[in-house]
């Protein structure tokens, strides 16, 4: 798939129209165009303001608990008998996942824009919880759209959001999952243009969201760079992250994109298996198309209708992927692989038993790939997996899948 050996830079996107090569852009109805242009303007002003960076850094340190540790997974390394495995521990952040990184950044943008009402979509509920958290922290009204099916399988997070003062609105339409929650959030935004800010949780959607979310999540990779220098005195050899929309992965990858010696793997959810058609692997099983404001790889049928995604992980259950990932795939810079529901469940249990860490089902997919790749690599290969969320929210789903009664 590589078009050239390597580009001058892989960190140049998006261009002024929000494109990453053929991908990205601003495919929204005219009513929303002025709004997203306003968000872009506000975000660009924040980038130029040292006070913004300082305020965000302060919150990251004192509220979210950054930097997250870089942890040598000694027993898993021993178990695999190959690569030296590290976890970037973003599950230790306040609210239990990497989602808080982006929410803190965007809530500061929304405040500067003078917005009083925040809306967001959520799949697993991690982004919903992180959004509800920052809204509580800053005293802003919060409405979360969540698919009815996801509400059913992520009950603890739904209750958490309500405790934080958010209104959770169930979306029964379509497939009642993340994509439908995003449709409803966009419909809300278009009807409440004056006071509302849409806090998108993944590195997808219309420009400037993919770029803005990536920038706020890049703190993961930037910290890792320093931490790996301290731990090993050099750069890692490979980076591994789960990919739904792809925000934790792009945050890990982006600071290393021009270090061509660092190999990168995005792990898509293969659900019940790529051949069954019941999966959420937009790159492995999709084609380029346009949805939710951007051009990217999408699961779709021969008539261009969006297909249902399937994954045991609600956070990966989305029929698309962020446009920068689509471009990195197209350029051959990042390799996209996949792991099934069952492989993720195996990884979930292995990590719990050997490391005493319950991973969320999303990074369990990344770990499933590590289980395949690490044993074949030499001992001096430094591998870093993003532990982007903790698994407490998933215990009911895992219990059901394993046939355990609680």
Partner 1 sequence: MSKVEVRAIDAQGNRITDRFALLKKHKRAGLVAFVTANDPTPGVFMDILEGLPSAGADLIEIGIPFSDPMADGPSIQLSSQRSLKHGTKIDDVLEAVSEFRRSELATPIILMGYYNPIYHYGDQEFAEAAAKAGVDGVIIVDLPPEEAEELNVHLRANGIAMIFLAAPTSSDERLPTILNNASGFVYYVAIAGITGTATADVAAVETAMARMRRHTDLPVVVGFGIKTPEQARAISRHCDAAVVGSAIVDVIAQGLNADGKPDPTLSTKVLEFVKTLATGVHGAWP
Judged by beta carbon, residue 60 or residue 183, the one nearer partner 1 is 183
DSSP category for residue 63? I
The number of beta carbons lying within 10 Å of the beta carbon of residue 260 is 12
Helices 323-331 and 209-217 cross at an angle (nearest 10°) of 80
Minimum CB distance to partner 1, residue 257 (Å) = 26
Minimum CB distance to partner 1, residue 119 (Å) = 14
Provide the terminal-to-terminal Cα distance of the chain, rounded to the nearest Å.
Answer: 47
CA distances from 252 to 74, 268, 286 (A): 21, 15, 24
> Is the separation of the CB atoms in 214 and 250 below 8 Å?
yes
Judged by beta carbon, residue 119 or residue 398, the one nearer partner 1 is 119
Judged by beta carbon, residue 84 or residue 292, the one nearer partner 1 is 292
Judged by beta carbon, residue 277 or residue 304, the one nearer partner 1 is 304
> Is the separation of the CB atoms in 145 and 188 below 8 Å?
yes
Which residue is listed with tokens 């289980």?
Answer: 371
> Is the separation of the CB atoms in 240 and 229 below 8 Å?
no
Judged by beta carbon, residue 28 or residue 240, the one nearer partner 1 is 28
Minimum CB distance to partner 1, residue 45 (Å) = 18
Closest CA to 388 of 364, 368, 370, 369: 364
Judged by beta carbon, residue 16 or residue 379, the one nearer partner 1 is 16
Judged by beta carbon, residue 10 or residue 209, the one nearer partner 1 is 209
Minimum CB distance to partner 1, residue 296 (Å) = 11
Per the DSSP assignment, residues forming a β-bridge with 390 are: 359
Minimum CB distance to partner 1, residue 306 (Å) = 5
Tokens of 246: 């792809």
Q: What is the dihedral of CA 281, 27, 102, 99, to 10 degrees?
A: -30
Minimum CB distance to partner 1, residue 76 (Å) = 40
The three-point CA angle 357-359-360 to 5° equals: 155
The number of beta carbons lying within 10 Å of the beta carbon of residue 268 is 30
Judged by beta carbon, residue 27 or residue 52, the one nearer partner 1 is 27
Burial of 16 (0-12, 13-18, 19+ CB in 10 A): exposed
Minimum CB distance to partner 1, residue 11 (Å) = 23
Burial of 54 (0-12, 13-18, 19+ CB in 10 A): exposed
Tokens of 139: 């005293």
Minimum CB distance to partner 1, residue 391 (Å) = 31
Judged by beta carbon, residue 290 or residue 395, the one nearer partner 1 is 290
Report the SS3 class of residue 135.
Answer: helix
Judged by beta carbon, residue 176 or residue 388, the one nearer partner 1 is 176
Tokens of 10: 């892989």
* Count of all residues that appear for the chain in the document: 406
Minimum CB distance to partner 1, residue 292 (Å) = 7
Judged by beta carbon, residue 25 or residue 389, the one nearer partner 1 is 25
Minimum CB distance to partner 1, residue 173 (Å) = 7
Minimum CB distance to partner 1, residue 207 (Å) = 9
Phi/psi of residue 318, nearest 5 degrees: -140, 135
Residues in touch with partner 1 (CB under 8 A):
17, 25-35, 173-174, 179-180, 183, 186-187, 190-191, 193, 287-293, 295, 298, 300, 302-306
Q: How far is CA 67 from the centre of its chain?
A: 18
């Amino acid at each position: 798939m590589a078009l050239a050996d390597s580009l001058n830079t892989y960190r140049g996107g998006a261009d002024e129209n929000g494109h990453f090569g053929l991908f990205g852009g601003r495919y929204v109805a005219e009513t929303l165009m002025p709004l997203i242009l306003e968000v872009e303007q506000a975000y660009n002003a924040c980038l130029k303001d040292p006070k913004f960076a300082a305020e965000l850094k302060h919150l990251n340190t004192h509220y979210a608990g950054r930097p997250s540790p870089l942890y040598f997974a000694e027993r898993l390394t021993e178990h695999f008998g190959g690569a030296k495995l590290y976890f970037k521990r973003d599950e230790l952040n306040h609210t239990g996942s990497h989602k808080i990184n982006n929410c803190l950044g965007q809530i500061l943008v929304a405040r500067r824009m003078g917005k009083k009402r925040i809306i967001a979509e959520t799949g697993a509920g991690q982004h919903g919880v992180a959004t509800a958290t920052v809204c509580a922290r800053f005293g802003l009204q919060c409405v979360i759209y969540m698919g009815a099916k996801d509400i059913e399988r992520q009950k603890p997070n739904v209750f958490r959001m309500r405790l934080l003062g958010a209104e959770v609105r169930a979306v029964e339409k379509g497939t009642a999952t993340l994509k439908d929650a995003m449709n409803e959030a966009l419909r809300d935004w278009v009807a409440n243009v004056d006071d509302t800010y849409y806090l998108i949780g993944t590195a997808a959607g219309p420009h400037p969201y993919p770029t803005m979310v990536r920038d706020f999540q890049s703190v993961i990779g930037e910290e890792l760079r320093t931490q790996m220098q301290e731990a090993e005195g050099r750069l890692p050899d490979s980076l591994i992250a789960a990919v739904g929309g792809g925000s934790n992965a792009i945050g890990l990858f982006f600071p290393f994109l021009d270090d061509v010696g660092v190999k990168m793997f995005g792990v898509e959810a293969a659900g019940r298996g790529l051949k069954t058609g019941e999966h959420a692997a937009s790159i492995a099983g999709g084609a380029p198309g346009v949805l939710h404001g951007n051009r990217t790889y999408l699961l779709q049928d021969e008539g261009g209708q969006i297909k249902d995604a399937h994954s045991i992980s609600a956070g990966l259950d989305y029929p698309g992927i962020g446009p920068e990932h689509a471009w990195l795939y197209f350029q051959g810079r990042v390799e996209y692989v996949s792991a099934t529901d069952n492989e993720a469940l195996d990884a979930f249990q292995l990590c719990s038993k050997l490391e005493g860490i319950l991973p969320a089902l999303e990074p369990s997919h990344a770990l499933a790939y590590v289980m395949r790749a690490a044993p074949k690599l030499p001992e001096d290969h430094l591998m870093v997996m993003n532990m982007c969320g903790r698994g407490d929210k998933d215990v009911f789903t895992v219990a059901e899948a394993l046939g355990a009664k609680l």
